[in-house]
Amino acid sequence: MNLRRAGLAWVVTALLGAAGAQNLTAYGALASNLDGAVQARAQSAEAALNRLDAAGKALDDLAPTLRNQQIVSGLRDALSRSRAALARTPAELEAQVQLARGLMRKALYDQSLVALGEQPANADAQLRVLSREFGLTGEAAQALATDARAGRLERTAWRLQRAAVQKVSASLQATQATQTTASYVNLARATGWFTVVQDSSSAGTLKLSQFGDALRQLTGGDTAALGTSLTTLRQGTRTFAQALTTPPSATGTPPATPAPAQPSPPSTSQNPATTPGTAGTGTGSTTPPTSGAGTTRSSGTEAVYAALGRALAATGHADGARARTALQEAATLLGRTGTPLRDTTAFQALQGGLESAQNRAALRPSDVQALISGLANAEQAAQGEPVSALDRTSLGTAGWFSGWLRALVFLLLGLGVAAPLYLLNLAFGGRNVYWRAITGGLILLLLPLFLEGVFGFLGAIGDATSAGALAGLTNVTLSQGAYALPFWALLAAGALGLLAFGFRGLCVQFGLMGSAGGSGHTTVHHTVIDWDEDV
C-alpha cells in the first residue's frame, strides 16, 4: 500500500511539474512556419498556404501544453485570419502573423516564468527559446540566463519586459499616421509585442484595447484619430519604459503579475489602402541600445549574419544539406527584421536571393558570400550610406550563374582544355624539349579549370543525390576554400617556370636571344631546323 501511494505521489508530482512545460519543438515549428508563410507569400500564395497548414499541425501539437485556453483560441482565430488574408495582400498576411506571434510569445513568457521557478537550474532549452524570441543576444542573453538559473525571477521578467517594450517603442516610432501597408504592419507588430507584457504592473494606463482602436482607425482611414492614438500610445510606451529603468532587487521571489486579461489581439479584417512601392512591405522591430543590454546591428541582423556564417562554413566543406538548413534559418530571421532595412531595394534583392539559394543544388561558398554581401548592402542602404555596386552585381550574378548552370558550364570548359593541348602536340610534335616544356606549362596553367569542371560537376551530382562521398569531390576544386590557394600558387609558379624555359629555349634556337655567334649560327641553319627537333 505504501509503495502504491508513493508511486501515485510520484506520478502526480511529475504531472504537476510538467504542467507548466510547453512543447518547445512544436513552438519552434509553429514560429518557423508562420514566418515562412510571410516569406513564401511574396512568391506564391499556394506555398504560403502550405506553410500555414503546417503551422496548424504544429499548433495542434502545442495546444495541449498551453495552460491558457484563451491563448489557444486566439491562436486558432489568428491562423484562420491568416488563411483568409492570403486572398488579399502580403501585408495583411504579415500583420495577422505578427498578431499570432504576439500570442505565442505571451504564452511562452507566462509559462516559462512558472517553469523556471520550479526548476531554475534545468531550463537551458527554455532560456534559449526565450532569448531567441525576445531578440536577446550576447551579454543580454547571458544576463537573462544568469538571473533565471539563480532563481531571480523578478529580474528575469524585468529583462524580458524591457526587451518587449523596446520593440513596441521601435514599431510605434516607425508607424506613421497614414493609411499605408508599412504603417499597418508596424502597428500590428507593436500590438503583438504589447500583447506579451499587457499584464505587467509597470504598464500603467496603457491597454491592449488602445492598440486595437488604433488598428481600426488605420484600416478605416481615420488618420486624424490615428495620429492622436499614436501620440497616446507612444507616451504610454515611454512611461512603461521609464518604469522599467531600474531593475528589481536580486531576489528569488516570483514576479507579481495581475490576473491575465483576454489576450486575443484585435481582428483587422479590413485591408488598408496601399501606396505605390509599399504593397507587401513589412516592418520588424529593432532593439535600441540601452544600458545593460547587448546592442545589435540595424534591424536585428546579427542572427541573420550568424546563420549565413554557418551556411558559409557548411559550403566550405561541401555539406549542402546543412548549408540549405542554415539558409532557411537565415530567411526566417531576415523576415523578422524591421524598418528601415525592409524598405530598401537591396533588402528585396537579398530576400529573393535567399529564397532561390534555399532550394539550389550544388551550393558553393561564393553563393553564400554573395548573400552576406547583399545583407551588408541592405544595412548600408538602410543607414543612408552608399552601397557597393560590386556586391550588388555579385548577388545578382549568383542568382543565375550558380547551381547546375555553373557546374555544366565549367564541365564543358574543363573538358575543353584537352583540345588546345592536343592541337599543340599535333602541330609541333613532342621531340623538342622546349615545346614539351611549353606543353607542360599549359597543362599546369589549365589544371585548375579542369579540376573545377570535372570535380565540381561530380560534386553537384553527389549533392543532388545525397551521396556524401561524391559530393565531397567538390573539395578538390581550387575555388572551394583558402586551403587550395597555396596549391594554386604552386601550379601557377610551375606553369610560369616551364613556359619561360620553353619560350626562352625557342628564342635561343631561332637566334632571338643568346650570343652573336650563336645567333648567327642558328640563323644560317634556320631553314633546316624543324619545330619538333632539338638544337
Rounded to 5 degrees, φ, ψ at 172 are -70, -40
Mean pLDDT across the chain, nearest whole number?
81
Evaluate whether 44 touches 69 at the Cβ level (below 8 Å). no
Q: Which of 20-24, 394-398, 402-406, 525-529 has the lowest mean pLDDT?
A: 525-529
DSSP string of 309-328?
HHHHHHHHTT-HHHHHHHHH
How far is residue 44's CA from residue 38's CA, in Å, rounded to a whole number?
10
Closest C-alpha to 219, from 71, 36, 85, 46: 85
C-alpha cell at 385: 550610406
Tens of pLDDT, residues 159-205: 999 999 999 999 999 899 888 888 899 999 999 999 999 988 888 88
Tens of pLDDT, residues 252-303: 444 544 444 444 455 444 444 333 333 333 333 333 333 333 333 444 688 8
Q: How far, in whole angstroms, is CA 470 from its chain's centroid?
A: 28
Helix H or strand E segment including 9: helix 2-18
In the prediction, which pLDDT does 228 show? 92
Closest C-alpha to 195, from 209, 185, 183, 182: 209
How far is residue 165's CA from residue 160's CA, in Å, rounded to a whole number?
9
Q: Reduced to 3 DSSP states, what percent helix, strand and coil does the chain have, rounded to the nearest 5?
A: 70, 0, 30
Instruction: Give residue 36's identity as a one-letter amino acid code.
Output: G
How far is residue 120's CA from residue 348's CA, in Å, rounded to a whole number?
42
Q: How confident is the model at residue 14 (pLDDT cuts 50, 70, 90)?
A: very low
How far is residue 358's CA from residue 361's CA, in Å, rounded to a whole number?
9
How far is residue 202's CA from residue 237's CA, in Å, rounded to a whole number?
10
Across residues 457-461, what is the average pLDDT? 95
Q: Which of 21-35, 37-51, 109-123 has the lowest mean pLDDT?
A: 109-123
Closest C-alpha to 269, from 81, 116, 10, 465: 81
C-alpha cell at 288: 535600441
Per the listing, cell 576554400 goes with: 481
Evaluate whether 206 touches 194 at the Cβ level (below 8 Å). yes
Residues of the chain with pLDDT > 90: what percent?
Answer: 42
How far is residue 486's CA from residue 476's CA, in Å, rounded to a whole number?
13
In the prediction, which pLDDT does 271 show? 44
How far is residue 299's CA from residue 278's CA, in Å, rounded to a whole number?
18
Across residues 138-142, what is the average pLDDT? 86
How far is residue 193's CA from residue 390's CA, in Å, rounded to a whole number?
38
In the prediction, which pLDDT does 21 show? 67
Across residues 467-491, what is the average pLDDT? 92
How far is residue 96's CA from residue 291's CA, in Å, rounded to a whole number?
33
In the prediction, which pLDDT does 527 show? 43
Rounded to 5 degrees, φ, ψ at 199 are -90, 0
How far is residue 111's CA from residue 149's CA, in Å, rounded to a whole number?
16
Q: How far, in whole angstroms, is CA 531 from its chain's centroid?
A: 60
Across residues 489-512, what is the average pLDDT? 93
Helix 138-149 and helix 153-174, axial crossing angle in degrees, nearest 10: 150
In the prediction, which pLDDT does 251 show? 53
How far is residue 224's CA from residue 138's CA, in Å, rounded to a whole number?
42
Region for residue 68 given its phi and psi (left: phi exceeds 0; alpha: psi -120 to 50; beta: otherwise): beta
Q: Is the peptide bond before 247 cis (omega within 30 degrees of 0)?
A: no
Q: Which of 52-61, 254-263, 335-344, 505-514 has the lowest mean pLDDT?
A: 254-263
How far is residue 229's CA from residue 210's CA, in Å, rounded to a whole number?
7
Rounded to 5 degrees, φ, ψ at 281 are -80, 135
Expressed in angstroms, the distance from the first to the final Cα of the chain is 109
Q: How confident is the model at residue 40 (pLDDT cuts 50, 70, 90)?
A: confident
Tens of pLDDT, residues 196-236: 999 888 888 899 999 999 999 998 888 899 999 999 999 99
Q: How far, in whole angstroms, is CA 361 from its chain's centroid?
A: 18
Total H helices, total E strands in the chain: 22, 0
In the prediction, which pLDDT does 119 show? 64
Q: How confident is the model at residue 529 (pLDDT cuts 50, 70, 90)?
A: very low
Q: Which of 276-285, 385-394, 418-427 has the lowest mean pLDDT?
A: 276-285
Helix H or strand E segment including 181: helix 181-197
In the prediction, which pLDDT does 296 show? 36
Whole-angstrom CA distances from 135 to 127, 180, 331 are: 12, 26, 16
Q: How far, in whole angstroms, is CA 58 from its chain's centroid?
A: 22
In the prediction, which pLDDT does 105 show? 93
